[in-house]
Amino acid sequence: MKNLSLILALVGLAVGVSAAPEKAAKAAKAAKSGKLATVDSIRVAEARQNEFYERVEIPTPAGEVTEVSSIALLPGKKVAIGTRRGDIWVAEGAYDADLSKIKWTKYASNQHEPLGMFWKEGSMYAMQRPEFTRLTDKDGDGRADSFDTVSSQWGVSGDYHEYAFGSDPDKNGDVWMVLCLTGSFHAHAPWRGWAAKITPEGKFIPVASGIRSPGGIGHNDKGDFFYTDNQGVWNGSSSLKWLRAGSFQGNPTGNKSAALANFPAPPEPTSGSRTLAERLKFPEYVPPALILPHGKVGNSPSGVACDMSKGKFGPWESHMLIGEQTASQVQRANLEVVNGLYQGAVFHFLGGFEAGLIPVRMDQEDGTLFVGGSNRGWGSRGSKNFTFERVRFKGKVPFEMHNISARNDGFEVTFTHPVDAAAAADVANYTMDTFTYIYQSSYGSPEVDQTTPTIKSATVSADGLKVRLIVDGLVRGNVHHLALGDIKSKAGETLWHSEGWYTLNEIPAAK
């Protein structure tokens, strides 16, 4: 720790000697805000992962290229993967301690890039690029022989970027899907840039507009659906977005499809504005539930799962787990509803995966997290061309910020273990900065409207699990980045991760 400060001091000094004082100020500010420490702290955190979680690569069928794009759970502890090449394989033994005996059976060949797969009533369901399909093995030989097209009502132009991601069924049996734009910039076919649901009878019902380039879709414990959308046009940063029925998600490129179903025209927002300003103008514009600050939290979010394993995966019940392709990680987020909108905090969580992650699938029964991915076409921190892995909780709860919750005058931070009260009550151990992005038709955005609120007080609860922060200078609409200093648990454990990013769409009323 001392060495690190020395290096930072030297860098700060070195820049200071140069003829650019503002540069020095910027560097010092970056160092203080934890920007320089972030990359380093991720590496340190990944090194500690093994204390809490066991990450294991699952052997895939020998000699086969299995760029995992979907994961489905079958009865009898079988697990299926779908691949970008379109094969579907079923594994027996993927849960076993000895993975050398895993047995793979090919269920189907050369389907069209399934991105979202689940098993229901004896059939596999797969969201393929051109259609949503039910695949059934009627003769019981282990291979699908009946391929029913449940729906194929959306437009497909032939562009490689027109990905279609599908969810598990909701409580009505409807499957939710998100349709990427053409090349992620255009809408060259009907319903590109929309979310829709498909009923069990195959009815295709568009439910939300404004989508750009999704990386995955899933629901939380309340049954509300969320998808990840990647940084790009109208997306200053990547984010997790709530698919409220009838909502507009921010990107007007696909708006013209509304006329196909006689829907009212979705909003045409003003480029160069802010999300807050535009969503106050257009009530149907639902702001991102969770900004995943570009470069800080990740670069390209993918699969979405909710931990409903009742503690089997650690104390994260109802938290969202979000795959990250570029950084080969899984992030964790707590969500809450304030004034009718979802918002919450995202934290770094699991890392070190072997390729860019795409699907994230939680076995809620036994708390095993399955992830898979591929490096083809887009690089990642992982070094392998493709991977299929499982992660299990080892039983030791890491000392972490469990969640951050907004208050009228600040935040309440809940920890996983009681904190050492002296350090946790010291405001010097908390730094907060806020920022947002330009909401614009060009690609991405720098961080703008930066502020530095003051942490006025930190009060530790009687049980030591919560710290109430009174903050002067909350900014509605901004991401609030909270970095913790030298706070230890009562038992002396250091934090596994020390930062969280809270998207403050709404400031709650005083209770």
Residues 166-205 binding other proteins (CB under 8 A) are 183-191
Which residue matches tokens 């994230």?
A: 360
**Residue from 8, 15, 36, 205 binding other proteins (CB under 8 A):** 15
Between residues 50 and 149, which has the closer beta carbon with respect to other proteins? Answer: 149
Stretch that binds other proteins, among 3-11, 41-49, 308-316, 412-420 (CB under 8 A): 3-11
Query: Counting Cβ atoms within 10 Å, is residue 354 exposed (0-12), middle (13-18) or buried (19+)?
Result: buried
Return the residues of window 449-508 that contact other proteins according to CB under 8 A.
Answer: none
Between residues 46 and 162, which has the closer beta carbon with respect to other proteins? Answer: 162
Half-sphere exposure for 452 (CA within 13 Å, toward CB): 7
Backbone angles phi, psi at 241, to 5 degrees: -120, 145
**Residue from 427, 438, 465, 475 binding other proteins (CB under 8 A):** 438
Per-residue contact flags (x/-) with other proteins for residues 356 to 385, judged by CB under 8 A: -------------------xxxxxx----x
CA–CA separation, 420 vs 36, rounded Å? 26
Residue ranges in 300-440 assigned as alpha helix (H): 421-424
Return the residues of window 74-93 that contact other proteins according to CB under 8 A.
Answer: 84-86
Q: How far is the CB of 12 from other proteins (least distance, A)?
A: 9
CA–CA separation, 359 vs 388, rounded Å? 10
Q: How far is the CB of 219 from other proteins (least distance, A)?
A: 26
Q: How far is the CB of 412 from other proteins (least distance, A)?
A: 33
Per-residue contact flags (x/-) with other proteins for residues 130 to 159, judged by CB under 8 A: xx-xx----x-x--xxxxxx--xxxxxxxx
Between residues 35 and 468, which has the closer beta carbon with respect to other proteins? Answer: 35
| Binding residue count for other proteins, defined by CB under 8 A | 74
CA–CA separation, 259 vs 148, rounded Å? 29
**Residue from 33, 49, 128, 416 binding other proteins (CB under 8 A):** 128
Backbone angles phi, psi at 139, to 5 degrees: -95, 5
Query: Counting Cβ atoms within 10 Å, is residue 457 exposed (0-12), middle (13-18) or buried (19+)?
Result: middle
Q: Pick from 503, 482, 500: which is nearest to 437 by CA?
A: 503
**Residue from 228, 328, 440, 489 binding other proteins (CB under 8 A):** 440
Q: How far is the CB of 48 from other proteins (least distance, A)?
A: 25
**Residue from 100, 110, 121, 491 binding other proteins (CB under 8 A):** 110
Between residues 156 and 455, which has the closer beta carbon with respect to other proteins? Answer: 156
Q: What region does 477 belong to: left with phi over 0, alpha with psi -120 to 50, or beta? A: left
Q: How far is the CB of 308 from other proteins (least distance, A)?
A: 33
Q: How far is the CB of 187 from other proteins (least distance, A)?
A: 7
Return the residues of window 49-78 that contact other proteins according to CB under 8 A.
Answer: 65
Q: How far is the CB of 299 from other proteins (least distance, A)?
A: 7
Stretch that binds other proteins, among 220-228, 238-246, 436-444, 468-476 (CB under 8 A): 436-444
What percentage of the chain's residues is helix, strand, coil (to nearest 5)? 15, 40, 45
Q: How far is the CB of 508 from other proteins (least distance, A)?
A: 32
Return the residues of window 226-285 that contact other proteins according to CB under 8 A.
Answer: 232, 256-257, 259-261
Contact 197, 185 (CB under 8 A): no
Q: How far is the CB of 138 from other proteins (least distance, A)?
A: 8
Taking residue 319's Cβ as centre, other Cβ atoms within 10 Å add up to: 26
Return the residues of window 389-428 that contact other proteins according to CB under 8 A.
Answer: none
CA–CA separation, 19 vs 390, rounded Å? 52
Q: What is the DSSP string of 366-387?
A: TTEEEEEEE-SSS--SS-SSEE
SS (H, E, C) 133-176: EEEECCCCCCCCCEEEEEECCCCCCCCCCCCEEEEEECCCCCEE
Direct distance between the N- and C-terminal alpha carbons of the chain, in angstroms, rounded to an integer: 41
Q: How far is the CB of 135 from other proteins (least distance, A)?
A: 9
**Residue from 14, 47, 280, 422 binding other proteins (CB under 8 A):** 14
CA–CA separation, 395 vs 393, rounded Å? 6
Q: Pick from 180, 178, 186, 177: which is nearest to 161 by CA?
A: 180
Between residues 35 and 490, which has the closer beta carbon with respect to other proteins? Answer: 35
Q: How far is the CB of 162 from other proteins (least distance, A)?
A: 9
With binding defined as CB under 8 A, does residue 326 bind other proteins? Answer: yes
